[in-house]
Amino acid sequence: MGYFFIHRDQIYEQGLSIGFRTFSAGHLIWLLGIAAFCVLTGLFYKSRDERGRDLMRKSCGLLIVILEYLKIIVMGLNGVKILEFVPLHLCSAAGLAVLVYALWPRMKGIGQVFAYAFFPAAILAVVFPSSTMYPWWNFYCLHTFIFHALIIAFFIWLLMAGEIVPSYKGVWIGLLFIAVFSVPIYFIDGAFNVNYMFIGTRSDVGILAAMWDAIVPKYGRPVFALVMGLIMIAVAHVLYGIFLLGRKLKSPGKKKKSK
């Protein structure tokens, strides 16, 4: 199996250079594949009746949770310290939220959290992956892309089917969730020297590592966390603008008929 089950910690311990570059050919192929998967399965989901959609939602939620805990099992079997890999990242919470929403789809508030917290976090996780130290044929690399692709696809399904309609109120619902989720994580990171939510230590993600190097030595970790929060606020508002523009482009004829 070669390096299939080798973990990041083991790669660093052995001084191996077996990873890939962000936006390399392989990475771009993954991004195009994820985009195609989301659109095609979204169209399929939209064409199904409620029973078919329910089956797709529950299957996706169950698969995401299985993937997350399979990763922890694999790490445990291979002697990897799992303290930093228990499901306390935002995307780990997203995986659990997918299953919760699949089981109780009337919980519409979760839909807004998907739109402004989980969806952008999953997008960033595949555009700027934290798995660049791995070779392509590696369990953790494959897990990163498949796990986050399913979260993205789940939201796209609901959006294309009109089951989630992102609102401006939802911007603040999503940001409130991130704030409440992040506060205890910030202190857990500091207490145990871990990096949940990427606000504890220097990250492997290039853009976050550059931000850490520019901010933390001069201003400290609290300022870094504050800057991350401000970026999330900006991203949420940009997303709201995109969702709003999409709705206007989608239904110009309806406005004309109503006059």
- Identity of the residue numbered 23: F
Q: What is the DSSP letter of 162?
A: T
The number of distinct structural domains making up the chain is 1
Return all residues near 88 (Cβ < 8 A) that are at least 6 apart.
Answer: 185, 188, 196, 197
Within-domain flag for 209:
yes
Is position 189 within any domain?
yes
Question: What percent of the chain shows pLDDT beyond 70?
Answer: 95
Q: Is 24 part of any domain?
A: yes
Q: According to the model, what pLDDT value does residue 81 have?
A: 75
pLDDT tens digits, residue range 232-257?
999 999 999 999 998 888 776 554 44
Domain membership of residue 119 (yes or no) is: yes
103 located within any domain: yes
Give SS3 for 247: helix
Answer yes or no: is 194 within a domain.
Answer: yes
Per-residue pLDDT tens digits for 182-217: 999 999 988 888 888 888 888 877 788 899 999 999
Range of the domain at 129: 20-246
Say if CB 54 and CB 167 are below 8 A apart: no
The per-residue pLDDT for range 106-151, each reduced to its tens digit, is 777 889 999 999 999 999 999 999 899 999 999 999 999 999 999 9
8 A C-beta contact, residue 57 and residue 64 = no
> Does 253 map to a domain?
no
Integer CA distances (angstroms), 48 to 44, 53, 104, 144, in order? 7, 6, 18, 28
Query: Is residue 102 domain-resident?
Result: yes
Q: Residue 38: is it exposed, middle or buried by C-beta count within 10 angstroms (0-12/13-18/19+)?
A: buried
